[in-house]
Amino acid sequence: MGGGARRGPLAGLRLTSLRLRLVVVFALVALTAAVSASGIAYWLNREAVLTRTQEAALGDFRQEMQNRAAALPLRPTQAELQKTAEQMASGGDHSVVLIAERAEGKPITGVSDRDEFTLADVPRSLQDAVNDRQDVGAGNSDPYHLYWQRTERRGEPYLVGGTRITGGGPTGYLFTSLDQERQDLNSLAWSLGIATLLALIGSALLAQAAATTVLKPVHRLGEAARRLGEGKLDTRLRVSGTDELAELARTFNKTAASLEKKVADMSAREESSRRFVADMSHELRTPLTALTAVTEVLEDEADSLDPMIAPAVNLVVSETRRLYDLVENLMEVTRFDAGTARLVLDTVDVADQVTACIDARAWLDAVELDAERGIMARLDPRRLDVILANLIGNALKHGGSPVRVSVRLGDNDLIIEVRDHGPGIPEDVLPHVFDRFYKASASRPRSEGSGLGLSIAVENAHIHGGDITAANSPDGEGAVFVLRLPRDASESADCEAARADDADSENGGHGVGRERGEGDAQ
């Protein structure tokens, strides 16, 4: 007895859906057409039925008046008049009233059925019309004519007709029921109403079928567009027919194929560029290591060198270190782009971690720390150190002392704020502070730094599931960088590990570069 409820043909329609609007429009058109046709048919049939019944009754009445009433003497007796009225009524389902005079000014009345019809039931307007003598002329050969009127009594329709015998003969009135005709017309109205209802239901079903025929391809197109937007660029539509919807499907397929090709080309170029940077960085590491060793020797011997060449030696030493840092940063960026960067989590005291970062770089005299011990978080200590070193170093280099670092807990995250007391960040620079190779001063393209530090910092925040924001202090004194990290980055680590595995699979199992160790340069 299990199973879900059966869905009707109109189930699942939303008030704003195109399907519902199609059904409503079809139904309204069908309803209007059916009501109009039914109304016209009912009116025509009503007039035809009533006219046929009326003409038959009045024709018989006229014939009876000519055959029987006209045969009465000019001054008939009550009995003669009564008998004639009964004879005239005996031939059909109607009642008759005859009016004559037994003497001058002495009217008498003959009624076929006093319980059914008397002179009092004849409308006064009809009596006036019957008794109104017309002028006889070229266009009118009779002074009196037959008149009729439809009326109701006790809710039942009746036909009342009357005429007068020319030459002083009796006046007669006919009273016949139209109830049978009303019943027939009511049956016709019910039939037309049922036909209208069936037409409405049929139109709704036809609208549903038409909507399904039209909207199924549209729905498939919408689903295909959604999948294409999700990155499934191999999505295609099955094309059948030669109508406009089929042409739309062909256009979609051509567009999707072109997009897939362009994305594939761009991905190939991007992968080639990443591979080139990674390979170049790897190739540069060996000679740079040798150069670094030589520069360290030269630096140790700088005091004993000729004063004329000492500045050149110092320049070589600083530029070699700068080049080494640039290569390391490029390798780090390449790992982020390739999706192979991974978290190595450990539970750390955040205050101790910040203190260690500041102490390792001899910034204790220039940095104020506001952090309580005991704030524990599960993070990657090395990556947190990279983030802090870049934020604090950037504040010291471009801001103004003192640089203040504060640590606090949010609702569900860890918040580290780095504030300096410099001139702040220009408004046109704020949107670009985390862009790669971006430098605020275009006039100093060779200024110290690679322009990758803040970019690497924000990438390390993202891999934790956090973020970094930059703004100017509300009081106008310096810039404020706010780092937000989850207190437990385990979930982000699992996600990044899965992405890294996927990236390794796509790259044939070869990651880009190696993870930087604890001793790697910043």
With 90 as the cut, is the pLDDT of residue 467 above it? yes
| Fold type of domain 339-506 | Heat Shock Protein 90 (3.30.565)
Contacts within 8 Å (CB) and 24+ apart, 45-51: 45/185, 45/188, 46/185, 46/188, 49/181, 49/184, 49/185, 50/150, 50/178, 50/181
Query: Which CATH architecture does the domain made up of 74-133+142-177 adopt?
Result: 2-Layer Sandwich (3.30)
- pLDDT at residue 506 above 60? no
pLDDT category of residue 456 using cuts at 50, 70 and 90: confident
Q: What is the pLDDT of residue 165?
A: 84
Residue in 414, 421, 422, 411 with CA at minimum distance from that of residue 371: 414
Report the percentage of the chain scoring pLDDT > 70: 86
Mean pLDDT of 312-321: 80
Task: Find the range with the poorest average confidence among 21-35, 215-229, 257-271, 330-344.
Answer: 330-344
Is the pLDDT confidence value at 417 over 90?
yes
pLDDT of residue 446: 43
Binning pLDDT at 50, 70 and 90, where does residue 450 land?
low
Give pLDDT, residue 416: 92
In this model, does residue 15 exceed pLDDT 70? no
User: ∠ CA(130), CA(136), CA(138), 5° rounding?
Assistant: 130
Whether residue 328 is predicted with pLDDT greater than 50 in this model: the reply is yes
> Which CATH entry fits the domain spanning 234-338: 3.40.30.10, 3.40.50.300, 1.10.287.130, 3.40.50.261?
1.10.287.130
Mean pLDDT of 305-321: 78
Q: Quote the CA–CA distance of 298 and 373 in Å, as a whole number.
A: 42
pTM comes to 0.47
Cα–Cα distance for residue pair 164/69, rounded to 1 Å: 9
> Could you report the per-residue pLDDT of 36-83, keeping only the tens digit for each?
888 888 888 888 888 888 888 888 888 888 888 888 888 888 888 888
Residues 424-439 pLDDT 10s:
888 888 888 888 777 6
**What per-residue confidence (pLDDT) applies to 11?**
45
> Is pLDDT above 60 for 6?
no
pLDDT at position 483: 94
